[in-house]
Amino acid sequence: MRFWLTTLLVLVIDQLSKLWIVNNFAPGESRVIWNKVLWLTYVQNQGAAFGILQGHSWLFFLCAILVMIILVVINSKQRLPVTMQVIFGLIMAGAIGNLLDRLRLNYVVDFFDLGWWPVFNIADMAIVCGAILLVIKLLWDEKGEHRASE
């Protein structure tokens, strides 16, 4: 249940934020949010997260579909702990959010600009945070299993 709630919540926030950017910014337009730290810059990204592999949309489409299928299968076949449901929900929401952009627009709407890092969006953050939390969870669980077996 938390898998789908997390997916829906993050997906709605992602899509509403992108809609707001598209309706209030011209492509390439940038506004300072926090001086020398954060800008909102409307970028039409045809690459992957953080702008890598520009122009390979078909590859990202296939990867997103594969990831979504795997997450749904794992979530439906196993009774996952709440933390894993939330982690998988973050990754699922990010994959769906950017996939919807690609299907609708042929590019992904990016807008968070740190000035020193490629421009990104909430879906990118959800995928990255989900992946980092997954690694931490897996390492944490493995560490606990080693302690229990000693």
| Active-site choice (14, 101, 113, 124) | 124
Catalytically annotated residue among 14, 101, 110, 113: 110
What does the buried/exposed string (b/e) look like for 123-132 if buried means 16 or more CB atoms within 10 Å of the residue's CB? Answer: bbbbbbebee
Q: Is 110 a catalytic residue?
A: yes
Q: Tell me how far apart the alpha carbons of residues 3 and 87 are, in angstroms, rounded to a whole number.
A: 8
Cβ atoms of 119 and 57 within 8 Å: the answer is no
Q: Active site includes 124?
A: yes
**Structure token pair of residue 70:** 């795997």
Q: How far is CA 112 from the centre of its chain?
A: 13
Radius of gyration of the chain (CA): 17
Residues tagged active-site: 110, 124
